[in-house]
Chains A and B, each alone.
Chain A
Amino acid sequence: MRNLFSVTIICLSFLILGIFWSLSNNLQQVAARLGENLVVTLFLNKDLPEKDALEIRDKAGRSPVIESLRMVTADEAKERFQASFPELRDVLANLKANPFPASIEAVLRPDRAGPDAVAAFLQSMTATAGVEDVQYNRDWIERVRSLGRLTRAIGLFLGGILVLASFFIISNVIKLNVLSRKNEIEILRLVGGTNTFIRIPFLIEGTILGILGGLVSLVFLAVLIQAFPLYLGSSLGALQELLSFRALSISQGLALVAGGAVIGWLGSLTSVSKFLKA
């Protein structure tokens, strides 16, 4: 009964640790994917003559940070929008004019796109006549990254507190077990048992409890990862990608179980030692 209790506690704390870990895994992955293509979008003034648009493109192309450039006409932009949001097709059809501006998509060279160079490029493009607006997705990447960092920090904080709590709980559970076998420990010492000899069964017990807790939390985590998207359906839309859980890697899972083992071992070590005096 007591043992079940401590396994549950370890399991819960590791589950929470694991949830945050998995979320932050996902955010990091999203940020990494976004980071692969640094794109600057130059939205052009409405009805800008094509000649001027090409001139802007050529000007952009002279910047050393540019890898490639692509013109997106207003019609193309409309089609793209229709493709990604088919529900809104009717709304769009009712509009007389095409509300989408033409744009130039500039892909930056990751090796040269240092902050200063990019800033200079953005500034010069913003100042260019015919450019309505400049959008740069690195802001997004930064936001996703810092969200990932925040998630991990919260996870570490909460998880840390819970792991500490489970350490004390294990240590107390083992202490109760030790207490109920106090007589036996005393006798073993009186007949010449070494402290190590006496400790080993308790250490094994604590370690097994910890490992069990870690394993069970991994199982729950896996179930959660499977069930979460089903539960939310697609209602999250674009956010789903950010919030979906990514399974822990094998080494992260092993770390969780190993963490359980260490907590169990330390917990029982501290509780038995009190009874190995005199």
Chain B
Amino acid sequence: MLVSDNLIELFHIGHQYQRPHWALSDVSLRVKKGDFVFLTGPSGSGKTTLLKIIFREIIPSEGQIVIEGVNILRIPDHGIYKLRRMMGIVFQDFRLLFHRPVFENVALPLQVLGVPPKEIRRRVFNALRMVNLQHKLGDPPAHLSYGEQQRVAIARAVVNAPKILLADEPTGNLDTELAFEIISLFREINKQGTTVLIGTHDKELIRHFGSKILFLQAGKLLGKDALPSPES
């Protein structure tokens, strides 16, 4: 068996939401264990679609996708939880339980694992402290600002120390300073072994933190493995 350090591999992925238009076409890429990757491109270029395909919310119209050597398109519906448990995901639209306290929202990934309550409390406090929200843990997201909601979503994504962190516009509603703080946090987590894939069109961030950059344009990945700098 071939030993590889590829964590996420996409082969000729194409996706059509509606008939004539391809949201993604022929996207092939590899993400190695421990990588810190920005996925960028103009609005509508397919960043969110690509991320959704990776966490299997969307089954692509074409192509195959392998994560940790497993073809995730072959996982039956009742087995997807194993894939999701390796991942922390920050959704572009947050997907929080709007009327439940912040604490409960962040605790969800631990609760589904059956982590004991004491341990849950410890880890949730930690995660909330990382995003500067420890004082809001009793409030429902409905009472928080967009930026605060975004940070709740980030805390929930990292609370479980996942193998893979997928973040879709995680700084979209944050001021520059806070955005830098969040990406620095992701860097920290990355150093502890988590592979990070961030979808963003914030050129400032990419310029500052960018190591590996994937550039999407109208559903096509530019430059294949050779990653162009955003300026080019």
Contacts and interface: CB of A to CB of B under 8 A. Distances in A.
B163 to A, nearest CB: 12
Interface stretch (B106-114, B131-139, B174-182): B106-114
Interface stretch (A117-125, A164-172, A188-196, A247-255): A188-196
Contacts of B91: 190
A193 to B, nearest CB: 4
Contact of A193 (B55, B81, B95, B156): B81
Contact of B59 (A186, A187, A193, A278): A278
A278 B84 contact: no
B contact patch SS: mixed
A194 B57 contact: no
Interface in A187-214: 187-195, 197
A277 B77 contact: yes
Nearest to A181: B97
Interface string B139-171: 000000000000000001000000000000000
Main secondary structure on A side of the interface with B: helix
Contacts of B12: none
A186 B85 CA distance: 14
Given A184-B97, A186-B95, A278-B59, A191 B78 contact: no
Contact of B113 (A186, A189, A192): A192
Interface residues of B, number: 22
B189 interface: no
B130 interface: no
A194 B81 contact: yes
Given A184-B97, A278-B57, A189 B80 contact: yes
B53 to A, nearest CB: 12
Interface in A158-178: none
B97 A189 contact: no
A242 B35 CA distance: 84
Interface in B43-102: 55-57, 59, 77-78, 80-82, 84-85, 87, 89, 91, 95-97
